[in-house]
């Protein structure tokens, strides 16, 4: 019997930004040399739109259909960096929450609740990219970490599965991707 997968929907980042994020990680490691950090692998960078959690295999195709039904009518997301923040031991680049972002997240939640057996709840987590995880509870100051990146344009979203790996970073597998339209 097939097992449930841990699924999430996320914005797929442009390749040039992925390289830039790697450089940002190096900058942060140099500036926070006294803090124990576990860096997020470059292949795991994304902007989470909705975490679906453990999902039955029969729901997977319905989720893909639901995502496809909204992406062509939603324009690409443009996200502006707000700063570096910490949330649940995650060091992340936080972006301004825009109407377009909120609208897309709400549409994803609504269509998945309507079309599948899942029941997603509203969570107010800002758009972000997790770049590292804090290993210890040491308090750190992020205000001295001046990071500049251009506005991020998300043109494609993906459905991913996440596999936990006993202390190692989780493995992510892209199951389906869909381009955002012109609105």
Cα separation, 14 vs 134, in Å, equals 26
The active-site residue out of 27, 74, 128, 176 is 128
Counting beta carbons within 10 angstroms of the beta carbon of residue 108, is it exposed (0 to 12), middle (13 to 18) or buried (19 or more)? buried
Task: Count CB atoms within 10 A of the CB of residue 43.
Answer: 11
CA dihedral 179, 49, 111, 162 (to 10 degrees): 90
**Closest to 174 (Cα-Cα) out of 164, 162, 159, 154:** 159
Based on the residue annotation, tell me whether 46 is a catalytic residue of this protein: yes
Cα separation, 49 vs 37, in Å, equals 24
Based on the residue annotation, tell me whether 128 is a catalytic residue of this protein: yes
Cα separation, 82 vs 71, in Å, equals 25
* Residues catalogued as catalytic: 46, 128
């Amino acid at each position: 019997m097939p097992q449930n997968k841990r699924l999430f929907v996320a914005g797929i980042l442009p390749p040039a930004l992925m390289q830039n994020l790697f450089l940002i990680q190096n900058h942060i490691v140099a500036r926070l040399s006294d803090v124990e950090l576990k860096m997020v692998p470059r292949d795991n960078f994304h902007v989470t739109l909705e975490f679906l959690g453990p999902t039955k295999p029969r729901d997977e195709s319905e989720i893909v259909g639901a995502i496809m039904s909204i992406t062509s009518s939603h324009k690409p997301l443009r996200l502006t960096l707000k700063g570096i923040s910490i949330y649940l031991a995650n060091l992340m680049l936080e972006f301004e929450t825009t109407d377009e972002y909120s609208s897309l997240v709400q549409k994803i939640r609504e269509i998945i609740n309507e079309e599948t057996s899942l029941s997603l709840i509203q969570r107010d987590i800002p758009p972000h990219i997790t770049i590292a995880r804090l290993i210890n509870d040491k308090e750190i100051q992020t205000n001295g970490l001046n990071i500049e990146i251009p506005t991020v344009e998300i043109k494609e979203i993906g459905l991913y599965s996440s596999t936990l790996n006993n202390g190692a970073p989780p493995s992510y597998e892209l199951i389906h991707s869909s381009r955002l339209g012109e609105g």
